[in-house]
Amino acid sequence: MSDTLLNHRIRLASRPHGEPTAENFQHDAVAVAAPGDGQVLLRTRYLSLDPYVRGRMSDAPSYAAPMEVGDVIVGATVSEVVESEAEGYSPGDVVLSYGGWQEYSVEPATRLRRLDPDAAPVTTALGVLGMPGFTAYAGLRAIGKPQPGETLVVAAATGPVGSAVGQIARIQGARAVGIAGGERKTAHLHELGFDEALDHRAPDLPGRLAAAAPDGIDVYFENVGGPVFAAVLPLLNTFARVPVCGLAATYNATGLPEGPDRSAALMGAVLAKSLTLRGFIQTEFAPAMFEDFLREMTGWIASGQVRWTEDITDGLEHAPDAFVGMLRGENFGKAIIHVS
Amino acid sequence: MSDTLLNHRIRLASRPHGEPTAENFQHDAVAVAAPGDGQVLLRTRYLSLDPYVRGRMSDAPSYAAPMEVGDVIVGATVSEVVESEAEGYSPGDVVLSYGGWQEYSVEPATRLRRLDPDAAPVTTALGVLGMPGFTAYAGLRAIGKPQPGETLVVAAATGPVGSAVGQIARIQGARAVGIAGGERKTAHLHELGFDEALDHRAPDLPGRLAAAAPDGIDVYFENVGGPVFAAVLPLLNTFARVPVCGLAATYNATGLPEGPDRSAALMGAVLAKSLTLRGFIQTEFAPAMFEDFLREMTGWIASGQVRWTEDITDGLEHAPDAFVGMLRGENFGKAIIHVS
């Protein structure tokens, strides 16, 4: 079977300088490989687009090794078993994999997580019940620790991390202030139950944020950086916690912003307000917390306490444009490519 | 008795702009006040000079309310009871107080801690067995958490906080790299048992620091800021901890440094290396840890595992010059004024 199929894929053609362009992506097709012992051949159904992938396209030092030029672009996938040489997997099984930007992939069975299509829509394994949802859960549980009556702020709040952050914080009794781009998104934040929703494209974000957080900010869940963080910093309360899981606003930056140098002022605020800034990648907390997350989040979804939104684009060939759009904040909800 | 005595004191005449100058300090003398019920009259024997006092001379927002112009400059003191209207205190008792820059003060007995001159030199209550030593102890225990084999870096390492940080870290099995200004100080760091001692005045601190920390830096105990932090940041390991208890290099700053703006790069490092930056004031941890500190540190002093150095200046009138010198790093060990 695998001899007769072509695998269309998208590879890193060159490293982007600033925002990725079409020439950074190379589309090609190769023969589908056959699974070896203990492996399965997977057909990609859904591909997750995530901001961290922009970092892996660069060769600047980061928490994950960069892709090499020529590599298939990385990404989590919901895939279907086509052919199995692994015990326990049969054709038709649906799994969470890390197949990347291609139609087919061969994976060892040890790297798969089986999905139950009857328990929840399988695409949730890429969003609210997957890495983004767990990022929200773990960052709050391990670092942010919102307390009843405290105020939490999160940006990119209609995105898969931000929307989970705000909704979990509210379940835990905190006030949730969401920041997003445009009226359609802020309206959606109100539907999700956020206490306040601010449009970062409207004028005077600092003033509106101060009004939305009259008792100051106790938790700022940092996933964007840039002007939002600048508006948040003066409002942070003593002992505020800042889990840092992403800096999407800076991922396409090609150099340091112009001065003055605010890093000393940032450290001054850390000292003066006994702040906690803590960067994290969700994998750090998965061994201790992932099972709890699946149990709790599945319950919150079932009860309607946590809702999610998906932004699904049809066709692998549109992945580059959808990816760049996501980095610009043009997606509305979890960005997913429907591959097949 | 208190009717016949003059209390020489030094008050805040005006707020400094940059480094304090003589005109910011007003010397005067007033009649010594009499203690009321529950109070004692104290004569200051030793006055502690500490960098945080520079912050309280300004009216910029900070963790402590600023002094008002006209206030006696604040500071911890080792004082002797001259007259007591409080049960349990008698003339001749030696106490830790917060008498400030003056020869006499009246304090409620509830704000005093009795010192035992036979247990340790009383001046240690201002340094290794006092606030600076506890700052080192609590910052390491609550935040820095040096593990055996890890590398810790601390600047101002011959100062009362830094020298305790390095010595405690070594007791806990970590390598200690100390940074100080000048050869006399780096030689002293070797005497204290630091594994490496670097002179920040010599060229190429970043290169020498990288050589002194070949496995990277796991704990950076931040008490100075400025160029040392810039040299440390690229060397921090994944999951490194940065307790931030002071930024002495910036206390006299009159504005933001010139660009580029490195704050985004700092946040990028926090994310990429899962760093923890945590500001703290030692009072946060005193209820939970101060008794443990006194017990452990007293033991380490008795065993010779922790040593300390004092830089004692005679005469209250020299406090302003000694204070400015300390902010410049001209002191060698804990800066103390011998008042009487």
Is A257 an 8 Å CB contact of chain B? yes
- In chain A, the residue whose alpha carbon lies closest to the alpha carbon of B260 is A259
Residue of A221, A238, A244, A263 for testing the chain B interface, max B β-carbons within 10 Å: A263
Alpha-carbon gap, residue A278 to B269, rounded angstroms: 10
Those residues whose C-beta lies under 8 Å from the C-beta of residue A337, and which sit 6 or more positions away, are: A46, A47, A49, A312, A313, A314, A315, A316, A318, A319, A322
Look at residue B278 and tell me whether its pLDDT is greater than 60: yes
Is B225 an 8 Å CB contact of chain A? yes
Report the complex ipTM: 0.91
Q: Look at residue B260 in the predicted model and tell me its pLDDT.
A: 80
- Measured in angstroms, the CA of B35 and the nearest CA of chain A are apart by 35
Cβ–Cβ gap B270/A226 under 8 Å: no
Within a 13 Å sphere around the CA of A189, how many CA atoms are in the beta-carbon half? 30
Q: Dump pLDDT digits (tens) for A66-107.
A: 899 999 999 999 999 999 999 999 999 999 999 999 999 999
Name the pLDDT band for A247 (thresholds 50, 70, 90). confident
Closest CA to A241 of B279, B62, B137: B279
Q: Measured between beta carbons, which residues in chain A are less than 8 angstroms from residue B250?
A: 264, 267-268
Q: Dump pLDDT digits (tens) for B19-36.
A: 999 999 999 999 999 999
Name the pLDDT band for B261 (thresholds 50, 70, 90). confident
- Measured in angstroms, the CA of A309 and the nearest CA of chain B are apart by 26
Q: Dump pLDDT digits (tens) for B120-149.
A: 899 999 999 999 999 999 999 999 999 999
Is A281 an 8 Å CB contact of chain B? yes
Percentage of residues in chain B having pLDDT higher than 70: 98
Alpha-carbon gap, residue B208 to B205, rounded angstroms: 5
- What are the structural domain ranges in chain A? 6-127+309-338, 131-283
Alpha-carbon gap, residue A85 to A87, rounded angstroms: 7
Whether the upstream peptide bond of residue A260 has omega within 30° of 0, thus cis, is: yes
Is A332 an 8 Å CB contact of chain B? no
Is B165 an 8 Å CB contact of chain A? no
Q: Look at residue A136 in the predicted model and tell me its pLDDT.
A: 98
- Measured in angstroms, the CA of B41 and the nearest CA of chain A are apart by 33
Domain A131-283 architecture: 3-Layer(aba) Sandwich (3.40)
Amino acid at A149: G
Q: How many CB atoms lie within 10 A of CB B318?
A: 13
Alpha-carbon gap, residue A188 to A192, rounded angstroms: 6
Q: Look at residue B1 in the predicted model and tell me its pLDDT.
A: 47
Strands (DSSP E) found in B245-316: 276-279, 310-314
Could you write out the DSSP letters of every residue in B216-276?
-EEEEEBSS-THHHHHHGGGEEEEEEEEE---GGGTT--SPPPSS--HHHHHHHHHHTT-E
Q: What is the mean pLDDT of residues B324-337?
A: 93
Q: How many CB atoms lie within 10 A of CB A214?
A: 8
Look at residue B3 and tell me whether its pLDDT is greater than 60: no
- Measured in angstroms, the CA of A340 and the nearest CA of chain B are apart by 34
Q: CATH code for A6-127+309-338?
A: 3.90.180.10
**Torsions phi, psi for A247 (to 5 deg):** -140, 55
Q: Dump pLDDT digits (tens) for B59-105.
A: 876 667 789 999 999 999 999 999 999 999 999 999 999 999 999 99
Domain B6-126+309-338 architecture: Alpha-Beta Complex (3.90)
Alpha-carbon gap, residue A229 to A155, rounded angstroms: 9
Look at residue A2 and tell me whether its pLDDT is greater than 60: no
Tokens 């300088």, residue located:
A17
- In chain B, the residue whose alpha carbon lies closest to the alpha carbon of A263 is B263
